């Protein structure tokens, strides 16, 4: 990044020429400050090759001592200093740095003057730290929980202790707890993505047990809607997308990918450990080769499928597997060694090599032989000897054929490397026909065809003679094309079942997706291999190893972000040296350790987070002048962060409050044309790169290519959508009708109060109430043609709409 803030360049040039003028007239200028003016320049342009990460030409320039030692700098003598000659060289082959712009003239002039002035460095000058010592690359160790004297909140669990300790350190005072109503709405939306109904709210308000809140948390975590809410969060990170292409041609992702989505929902509901989730997503085909329920998880690898270009496909796998699970940007090292982290370009291709053998196929689902109608898309190792290329400067056209790339990981992260053991697969895994239910499905389909052909062929007379006669007649062997074809097919199926190893492609019970648009017939018809390389199992084991320094930290941070509205590490997919430091490093470590020590249980973490006192704080900064001044961004959580609801939660909440939401779970996605009138949860809508719901889009629906964190935009189209869409108007109408039924003959005050409580979760303030009452007078006047009670009911519809359009309806306070 250029270090100059916008708009300052002309000024700088001016002061530079001014400086020259002063210099010429012999007056002393302020000496160049190494720490402020030289070191940042070196850091930006030189350290990646001449620093702790790499020492090209055995040179380091990340400290004064190293510079002298390297012999490229002679204090006081710019003309003898090679460093100056190299940065100002005209010839591109000798000029440094070799990539990017040459240094600017003013930067070179500064460097020169600094050398002239004796190349002074401060006494505490030290080389940059070893990248391997970066905080997130060190093992996770559980820190002691701090004891906080006179804490400002009840210390309910260690989260409170860590956060309260920071408040004391930063001299911050937390706000008070949120009202019970606000808290209940918060935790409902947070855990299940739906607001509480009036009845649920009333029950909670009347529950005087000391653990009433904890009881609610347990209920919510046990409800099936929890898995939908949190499954969807992680499907953002894992880039869930239904298939897309051009017209009917599939180019990206896979049909029937929803099986993986359902696996995610079910896994969250079952509290499957995150370690096991990763193992299943990356390597279920090796670890559980004959368990279709678990094979669904490898939809994670079916998702990046791309018809046209294998490098693009695997680039996505590398980029998002490292960003999503490790918080590492391996993609930066596709063309050159990573500029910030010890990840070399070779490491990039080694990581790719882990995935090189895999392809995607769709297995039949028992009971449906037509792969277009149903099937299970999944990964499998197909080309066991596939070579991974090394693309010089990342250019696919320019592969280094002398280099042999073997699967592996950067040593600083995985000192013991990957232990890869090939996996011998049971025959039912590579010959699906050996699964009786698959054989039966194919057989039955062909038998049906045969029977249908038979019936069609039989003459009216033969039919009249009855079923047994037809069979008798059939056995005699009448001729007929359809029948002959069916009989032939049946024979083939029987032969295939008897010897699955020789089955034709269409009769194997699984179809491989084209490896590319130019795949040969020979490659298409090849049998599935009887072994798998075990590379992905090795990767999955390493990712889910207690020793892995990154996996748990990254996951905990994602959870924290979604509960508290702000992550502990704000660069959620970048935990490397380019990322930001955690606001609460000890808390992050503690949570990561706690997570792993509790079987990587998400529910355990949710429970800790939402029952902490910190989570229960108000999000208002009213009367918190000092804290606001000291920490305006609320980095230290002296109050709760308000959060904009995600697109799906906004739509589902509307339906839910109107009593319209259909909580049916799972199954094929709801087609675009059916979405407007569908009452199912929005996470079941068809959602791909090409086709996405218009209403959800307005509220920043997940981008299927990259969504580590939803955007929270505020644009006028959102207002239009919530005012004008059929959905909003229809649901507002239903909420209005429902309130009128529930509160018969209610006056405006009672109606408005009930409406506030339902839509926003809180009763109106006296000002809000008065404002609504006044508006209702005007609204009635605007409806001269209507009579009571229709007039009142119609006027009140606008109150409901105004509440749906209230900032605090789409916000979690």
**CB-nearer residue toward another protein: 247 or 477:** 247
What is the DSSP track for 34-70? IIIIIHHHHHHHTTTTBSSS-BGGG---SSHHHHHHH
Q: Is 793 in the site for another protein (CB under 8 A)?
A: no
Min CB(102)–another protein separation in Å: 12
**CB-nearer residue toward another protein: 25 or 767:** 767
Min CB(754)–another protein separation in Å: 16
Min CB(698)–another protein separation in Å: 8
- Looking at 217, 696, 801, 812, which residue binds another protein (CB under 8 A)? 801
Q: Is 527 in the site for another protein (CB under 8 A)?
A: no
Cα–Cα dist 726/724, whole Å: 6
Tokens of 474: 């059939």
- Looking at 569, 608, 609, 739, which residue binds another protein (CB under 8 A)? 569
User: Residue 515 gets which letter from DSSP?
Assistant: S
Q: Is 729 in the site for another protein (CB under 8 A)?
A: yes
Listed residue (227, 192, 135, 153) closest to 557, CA to CA: 135
What is the separation, in whole angstroms, between the first and last Cα of the chain? 36
**CB-nearer residue toward another protein: 62 or 700:** 700
- Looking at 147, 248, 716, 744, which residue binds another protein (CB under 8 A)? 716
Min CB(104)–another protein separation in Å: 12
Residues binding another protein: number (CB under 8 A) = 85
**CB-nearer residue toward another protein: 462 or 691:** 691
What is the contact mask toward another protein in residues 596 to 625, using x (rule: CB under 8 A)?
Answer: -----------------------xxxx---
Q: Is 463 in the site for another protein (CB under 8 A)?
A: no
Listed residue (537, 599, 604) closest to 275, CA to CA: 599
* Phi and psi at residue 685, to the nearest 5°: -70, 145
Cα–Cα dist 684/580, whole Å: 35
Scanning 25-33, 370-378, 481-489, 804-812 for contacts with another protein by CB under 8 A, the matching segment is 804-812
Q: Is 566 in the site for another protein (CB under 8 A)?
A: yes
- Looking at 44, 82, 106, 768, which residue binds another protein (CB under 8 A)? 768
Q: Is 790 in the site for another protein (CB under 8 A)?
A: no
Min CB(684)–another protein separation in Å: 22
- Looking at 459, 580, 677, 790, which residue binds another protein (CB under 8 A)? 580
Characterize 168-179 residue by residue with b for buried, 16 or more Cβ atoms within 10 angstroms of its Cβ, and e for exposed: eeeebebbebbe
C-beta separation of 687 from 260 below 8 A? no
Distance of CA 747 to the CA centre of its chain: 48
C-beta separation of 289 from 429 below 8 A? yes
Tokens of 618: 């108000």
Sequence-separated (6 or more) residues with CB below 8 Å from residue 641: 564, 565, 566, 619, 634
**CB-nearer residue toward another protein: 154 or 715:** 715
Give rounded-to-5 percent helix, strand, coil for the chain.
Answer: 50, 5, 45
User: Residue 139 gets which letter from DSSP?
Assistant: P
Site for another protein in 284-343 (CB under 8 A): 308-309, 312
C-beta separation of 449 from 484 below 8 A? no
**CB-nearer residue toward another protein: 447 or 773:** 773
Min CB(776)–another protein separation in Å: 9
Cis amide prior to 176 (ω within 30 degrees): no
Cis amide prior to 97 (ω within 30 degrees): yes
Q: Is 232 in the site for another protein (CB under 8 A)?
A: no
Q: Within a 10 A sphere around the Cβ of 4, how many other Cβ atoms? A: 12
Site for another protein in 85-144 (CB under 8 A): 100-101
Scanning 168-176, 187-195, 665-673, 798-806 for contacts with another protein by CB under 8 A, the matching segment is 798-806
Site for another protein in 656-715 (CB under 8 A): 689, 694-695, 697-698, 700, 703, 705-706, 711-715
**CB-nearer residue toward another protein: 39 or 296:** 39
Tell me the three state secondary structure of residue 803.
helix
- Looking at 127, 585, 642, 763, which residue binds another protein (CB under 8 A)? 642
Listed residue (46, 50, 135, 147) closest to 97, CA to CA: 46
- Looking at 157, 198, 492, 516, which residue binds another protein (CB under 8 A)? 516
Q: Is 725 in the site for another protein (CB under 8 A)?
A: yes
Q: Is 717 in the site for another protein (CB under 8 A)?
A: yes
- Looking at 474, 554, 798, 812, which residue binds another protein (CB under 8 A)? 798
Min CB(300)–another protein separation in Å: 20
Listed residue (391, 262, 208, 366) closest to 314, CA to CA: 391
Scanning 187-195, 276-284, 593-601, 760-768 for contacts with another protein by CB under 8 A, the matching segment is 760-768
Site for another protein in 370-409 (CB under 8 A): 396-397
Q: Is 513 in the site for another protein (CB under 8 A)?
A: no
Q: Is 15 in the site for another protein (CB under 8 A)?
A: no
CA distances 441 to 293, 453, 569, 668, Å, are: 18, 18, 51, 20
Q: What is the greatest pairwise CA distance in the chain? A: 122
Tokens of 89: 């060289």
Cα–Cα dist 268/262, whole Å: 10
Cα–Cα dist 297/143, whole Å: 34
**CB-nearer residue toward another protein: 201 or 801:** 801
**CB-nearer residue toward another protein: 403 or 726:** 726
Q: Is 518 in the site for another protein (CB under 8 A)?
A: yes
User: Residue 117 gets which letter from DSSP?
Assistant: T
Scanning 71-79, 439-447, 534-542, 772-780 for contacts with another protein by CB under 8 A, the matching segment is 772-780
- Looking at 23, 344, 723, 791, which residue binds another protein (CB under 8 A)? 723
Scanning 144-152, 483-491, 652-660, 762-770 for contacts with another protein by CB under 8 A, the matching segment is 762-770
C-beta separation of 81 from 73 below 8 A? yes
Q: Is 718 in the site for another protein (CB under 8 A)?
A: yes
């Amino acid at each position: 990044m250029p270090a100059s803030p916008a708009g300052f360049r002309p000024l700088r040039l001016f002061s530079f020429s001014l400086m020259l003028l002063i210099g010429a007239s012999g007056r002393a200028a302020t000496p160049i400050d190494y720490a402020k003016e030289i070191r940042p320049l070196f850091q930006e342009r030189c350290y990646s090759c001449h620093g702790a990460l790499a020492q090209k030409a055995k040179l380091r320039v990340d400290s004064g001592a190293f510079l002298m030692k390297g012999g490229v700098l002679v204090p006081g003598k710019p003309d003898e200093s090679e460093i100056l000659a190299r940065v100002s060289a005209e010839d591109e082959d000798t000029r440094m740095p070799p990539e990017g712009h040459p240094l600017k003239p003013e930067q070179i002039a500064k460097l020169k003057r600094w050398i002239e002035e004796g190349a002074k460095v401060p006494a505490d000058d030290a080389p940059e730290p070893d990248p391997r010592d970066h905080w997130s690359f060190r093992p996770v160790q559980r820190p002691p929980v701090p004891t906080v004297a006179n804490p400002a909140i009840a210390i309910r669990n260690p989260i409170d202790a860590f956060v309260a300790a920071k408040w004391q350190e930063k001299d911050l005072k937390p706000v008070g707890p949120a009202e019970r109503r606000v808290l209940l709405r918060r935790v409902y939306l947070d855990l299940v993505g739906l607001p509480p109904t009036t009845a649920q709210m009333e029950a909670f308000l009347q529950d005087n047990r000391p653990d009433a809140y904890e009881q609610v948390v347990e209920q919510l975590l046990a409800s099936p809607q929890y898995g939908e809410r949190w499954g969807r969060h992680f499907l953002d990170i894992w880039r869930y997308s239904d298939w897309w292409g051009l017209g009917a041609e599939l180019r990206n992702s896979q049909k029937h990918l929803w099986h993986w989505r359902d696996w995610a929902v079910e896994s969250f509901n079952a509290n499957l450990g995150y370690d096991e989730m990763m193992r299943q997503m990356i390597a279920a085909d090796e670890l559980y080769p004959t368990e279709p329920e678990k094979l669904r998880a490898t939809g994670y690898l079916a998702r990046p499928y791309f018809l046209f270009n294998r490098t693009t496909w695997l680039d996505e796998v590398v980029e998002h597997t490292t960003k999503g699970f490790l918080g590492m940007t391996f993609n930066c090292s596709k063309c050159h060694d990573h500029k910030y982290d010890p990840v070399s370009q070779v490491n990039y291709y080694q990581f790719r090599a882990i995935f090189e053998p895999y392809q995607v196929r769709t297995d039949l689902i028992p009971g449906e032989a037509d792969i277009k109608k149903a099937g299970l898309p999944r990964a499998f190792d197909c080309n066991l000897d596939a070579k991974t290329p090394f693309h010089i400067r990342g250019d696919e056209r320019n592969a280094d054929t002398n280099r042999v790339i073997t699967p592996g990981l950067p040593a600083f992260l995985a000192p013991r490397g990957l232990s890869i053991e090939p996996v011998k697969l049971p025959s039912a895994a590579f010959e699906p026909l050996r699964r009786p239910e698959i054989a039966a499905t194919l057989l039955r389909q062909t038998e049906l065809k045969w029977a249908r052909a038979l019936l069609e062929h039989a003459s009216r007379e033969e039919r009249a003679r009855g079923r047994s006669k037809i069979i008798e007649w059939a056995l005699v062997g009448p001729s007929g094309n359809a029948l002959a074809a069916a009989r032939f097919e049946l024979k083939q199926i029987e032969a295939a079942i008897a010897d699955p190893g020789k089955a034709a492609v269409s009769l194997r019970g699984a179809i491989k997706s084209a490896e590319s648009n130019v795949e040969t017939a020979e490659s298409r018809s090849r049998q599935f291999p009887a072994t798998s390389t075990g590379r992905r199992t090795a990767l999955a084991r390493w990712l889910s190893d207690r020793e892995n320094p990154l996996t748990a930290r990254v996951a905990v941070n994602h959870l924290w972000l979604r509960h508290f509205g702000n992550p502990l590490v704000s660069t959620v997919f970048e935990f490397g040296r380019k990322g930001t430091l955690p606001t609460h490093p000890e808390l992050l470590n503690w949570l990561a350790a706690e997570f792993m020590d509790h079987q990587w249980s998400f529910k355990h973490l949710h429970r800790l987070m939402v029952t902490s006192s910190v989570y229960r704080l108000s999000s208002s900064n009213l009367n918190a002048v000092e804290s606001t001044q000291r920490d305006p961004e609320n980095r230290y959580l002296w109050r709760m962060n308000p959060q904009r609801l995600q697109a799906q939660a906004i739509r589902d909440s509307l339906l839910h409050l109107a009593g319209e939401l259909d909580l049916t779970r799972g199954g094929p996605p709801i087609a675009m044309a059916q979405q407007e009138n569908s009452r199912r949860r929005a996470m079941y809508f068809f959602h791909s790169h090409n086709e996405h719901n218009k209403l959800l889009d307005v509220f920043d629906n997940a981008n299927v290519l990259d969504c580590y964190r939803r955007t929270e935009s505020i644009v006028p189209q959102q207002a239009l959508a919530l005012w004008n869409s059929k959905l909003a108007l229809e649901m507002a109408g239903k909420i209005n009708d429902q309130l009128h039924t529930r509160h018969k003959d209610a006056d405006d005050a009672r109606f408005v109060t009930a409406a506030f409580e339902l839509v926003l979760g809180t009763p109106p303030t006296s000002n809000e109430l008065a404002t609504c009452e006044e508006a209702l007078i005007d609204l009635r006047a605007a409806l001269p043609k209507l009579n009571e009670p229709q007039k009142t009911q119609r006027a009140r519809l606008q109150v409901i709409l105004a509440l749906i359009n209230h900032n605090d309806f789409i916000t979690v306070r």
